[in-house]
Amino acid sequence: MTKIGLAFQSDKSPQTYAQLAQAAESYDIDVLSVFSDLMFQPPILALLEMARVTDRVRLGAACWNPYSLHPYEIAGQLAALDLASNGRAYLGLARGSWLGDVGIEQPRPISHLREAVEVIYRLMEGKTDGYHGEIFQLAPDVRLRYAVRRPRPPLLIGTWGERTAAFADGLADEVKIGGTTNPAVVARMRKRLKSSALVVGAVTVVDTDGAAARARAKTEVATYLPVVAELDSTVQVPVDLLVRMQALVTAGESEAAGALVPDELLDLFAFAGTPAEVAARARAVIDAGAARVEFGTPHGLSDERGVHLLGAEVVPRLRR
């Protein structure tokens, strides 16, 4: 059966995360994720708060980044989350975007991800024979100085790339494409994966006022469309449109940028509209090969209403 997840931006108070996590778990939601985007709060704050008030849902960062955070730090945060959640954590890793804004280069992404996975799991498993990769090293006898709940929490790798997907297939329990609701992209990635489950996530805005939901979604999508549109070879988005959109976003005029997003593009990069419309778009993604759909921030015109409508009116349509 297809799994359903919610993904949250890391910009809220601990109390808000607790309330949203409790609401999500009261519905038929399987996974709660927290983004690890540039200049937002580290996801571990929200995840630990969610772990405190839930008993069933899986929890993880989508995703930690081994360019900005050393694998031994990721291992420590993963171990803490797995302990706090009584074994419900997953390890999410991705190359990420926008790190050039803080002077971090991102060469050799596959090597970075491969070695990060190796170092994290070696530390979690308590291996002490050292590791000498091209990027990361562990001296002999280096180990975590505390007990871990599980040596190998499940792995998710986020990517759009064909080569990274090939590397991740079989190694990762899940491979995630973020920022798309395009069935053509989903079907293409599903064909590349022989072993790993496919996760698809994107901005989500659901409301009984479908027009208002779509307008809000356009504003949200405008912030990342210039990045993901270049990754989707099945869609030709005019370059001048992306340039104008990016300029408005940079100038802090996100609503004006969103107004430039055509309806047909919105439906390829977001779940937006009434509960029936969002469910229909999610069903198309599932039919194309997604094993898990992850509905992303902001969920609705307000966080609380969005989580409620997804849990009460969208998820039941997908379980039928």
Question: Tens of pLDDT along 210-225?
Answer: 999 999 999 999 998 9
- Residue 177 identity: I
CA distance 240 to 122: 47
CA distance 314 to 278: 7
Residue 313 has pLDDT above 80, yes or no: yes
**Alpha helical stretches, state H, 197-261:** 210-221, 225-228, 239-250, 254-259
pLDDT tens readout for residues 223-233: 989 888 989 99
Residue 244 has pLDDT above 90, yes or no: yes
**pLDDT for the residue numbered 104:** 84
Longest dimension (CA), the chain: 60
3-state secondary structure at position 131? strand
pLDDT tens readout for residues 54-74: 999 999 999 999 999 999 999
CA distance 112 to 118: 10
pLDDT tens readout for residues 79-89: 999 999 999 99
Architecture of the domain spanning 165-320: Alpha-Beta Barrel (3.20)
Q: What would the CATH number be for the domain defined by 9-17+31-158? A: 3.20.20.30
pLDDT tens readout for residues 28-47: 999 999 999 888 999 999 99
Residue 99 has pLDDT above 90, yes or no: no
Nearest CA to 281 out of 200, 175, 196, 198 is that of 200
pLDDT band per the 50, 70, 90 thresholds, residue 97: confident
Domain regions of the chain by residue span = 9-17+31-158, 165-320
CA distance 33 to 46: 9
Average pLDDT, the chain: 96
pTM for this model (two decimals): 0.95
User: One fold for both 9-17+31-158 and 165-320?
Assistant: yes
Nearest CA to 9 out of 39, 30, 34 is that of 34
Instruction: State how far the alpha carbon of 210 is from the alpha carbons of 92, 207, 262, 275, in Å.
Output: 32, 6, 15, 8
**pLDDT for the residue numbered 130:** 96
pLDDT tens readout for residues 251-282: 999 999 999 999 999 999 999 999 999 999 99
Q: What percent of the chain has pLDDT over 70?
A: 100
CA distance 103 to 91: 25
**Alpha helical stretches, state H, the chain:** 14-26, 43-53, 71-84, 109-125, 162-168, 183-192, 210-221, 225-228, 239-250, 254-259, 263-269, 275-287, 303-309, 315-319
Query: Would you say 207 and 309 are in contact if contact means Cβ atoms under 8 Å apart?
Result: yes
pLDDT band per the 50, 70, 90 thresholds, residue 98: confident
